[in-house]
Amino acid sequence: MSAIHLQGLSKKFGDFTALKTMDLDIADGEFMALLGPSGCGKTTTMNMIAGMEEPTQGRILFGECDMAQVPMGRRGVGFVFQNYAIFTHMTVRQNLAYGPRMHGASRPEIDRRVGAIAELLQLTPLLDRKAERLSVNILQRVAIGRSAILEPAIFLLDEPLSNVDAAFRAVMRTELKHLQRQFRQTMVYVTHDQLEAMTMADRITVMDHGVLQQVGSPIEVYNNPANVFVARFIGSPGMNLLPGRPAESDRGMVIDLGPVGLTPLLPAKLAQRLRGHGGDVLFGFRPEQATIAHEGRGMKAPVTFVERIGARIIVHLGQSESAMKVVLDNDARVSLGASAIITPHMESARLFDRASGAAIGQGA
């Protein structure tokens, strides 16, 4: 019943297309993250699921039920707003009791449910506090509790951690994931922070400019990006993408990267897919999946900058189109300005069509 199906969903605001035709199935009990930069249509999608906005076209189904005629108060959807939208003029108790009260529950029934949800979320000692002066993590629990008390089958969360400082976000992520395990609802989680999506979601839907880019588990999206946008967007820093064209060497197939030189041999599978392709490609490899040496043969580029980020260093190499980054342990010896030999881990390297940006020969 609580699976969500989006069928040919689109939304236009005047001339502006917020969401192009989108099809998406979210399974019952799944934690789905909608991930993308701001303005990619993720919040619009969620608002349509909640019923706050009317789709321009397409259908939204919860299980078998078409939601078109169901107003937002009747969809059985829990919604946690970006700023939590706690009723600041009420106490925690009144906030939690709001849903049942509006649904006409009896006084003892309300007390019982508020008691139970407060116990679950460890809000019992705070019940009679004014919601105005609570800290962010408590506000989040109140926001979740206020929706959860109605036992919605579907929970929608709109960037709930974006107002929280970085250190605290880690705590909240764990707490949220823990809560989802407790409630076992279908969760749709909108975020622009890939770390949140990666750590919490069962599956991630990557979006950009109102277009669905890829749906998959966090590891799939990371390992096998469907296109250049996902490759760059996921990972920090994103995947290196170097323009080149396929070339045959004496031992097999490689990519000629122009000034950078030739890549190591392509793995057999990748080489096979590439044969049918022809034309210019983008050679992609993860900054974490490469090593650097100062001597030897292979891809060559000068070190232009070294960023130190504590445990790791990010080495910037090459320029303009063939700029790339490699992440190394912080004890690696790299000399600035010197030419370096880059050896990517070829099993995890990926190829993309240069014109369309789509992945070639996906799957390991």
Q: Can you give the binding site for other proteins, defined by CB under 8 A?
A: 50, 52, 72-74, 77-79, 81-83, 85-90, 98-99, 102-103, 130, 146-147, 150
CB atoms within 10 A of CB 199: 15
| SS3 (DSSP) at 267 | coil
Whole-number minimum distance, CB 149 to other proteins, in Å?
Answer: 9
CB of residue 89 vs other proteins: minimum separation in angstroms? Answer: 5
Return the bridge partners of 241, or none.
Answer: 284
Q: Give, rounded to a whole angstrom, the gap between the first and last alpha carbons of the chain.
A: 35
CB atoms within 10 A of CB 171: 12
Length of the chain: 364
Q: What minimum distance in Å lies between the beta carbon of 259 and other proteins?
A: 43
Helices and strands in the chain: count of H runs, count of E runs: 9, 20
Q: Which of residues 75 and 192 has its CB atom nearest to other proteins in the complex? A: 75
Tokens (6 digits) for 260: 């950078």
**Cα(208)–Cα(238) distance, integer angstroms:** 15
Nearer to other proteins, 19 or 97 (CB): 97
Judging by beta carbons within 10 Å of its beta carbon (0-12, 13-18, 19+), is residue 358 exposed, middle or buried?
exposed
DSSP code for 38: T
CB of 9 to other proteins, least distance (A): 20
Question: Whose Cβ is closer to other proteins: residue 152's or residue 218's?
Answer: 152
Choose between 147 and 348: whose C-beta lies nearer to other proteins: 147
Please state the closest distance from residue 207 (CB atom) to other proteins, in A: 22
Q: How near is the Cβ of 269 to other proteins at its closest, in Å?
A: 49
Closest distance of CB 79 from other proteins, Å: 5
Cβ distance 110 to 100 under 8 Å? yes
| Beta carbons within 10 angstroms of residue 135's beta carbon | 8
In the complex with other proteins, which residue's Cβ is closer, 90 or 314? Answer: 90
Question: Is the separation of the CB atoms in 133 and 86 below 8 Å?
Answer: no
Phi, psi of 189 (to 5 degrees): -125, 115
Q: Does residue 237 have a cis peptide bond before it, meaning omega lies within 30 degrees of 0?
A: yes
130 vs 297 by CB, closer to other proteins: 130
Residue nearer to other proteins on the CB measure, 87 or 362: 87
Burial of 356 from C-beta contacts in 10 A (0-12 / 13-18 / 19+) = exposed
Least CB distance to other proteins at residue 166 (A):
15
Q: In sequence order, what are the residues at sequence separation of 6 or more whose Cβ sits closer than 8 angstroms to the Cβ of residue 246?
A: 253, 254, 255, 256, 274, 277, 278, 281
Choice between 81 and 354, CB closer to other proteins:
81
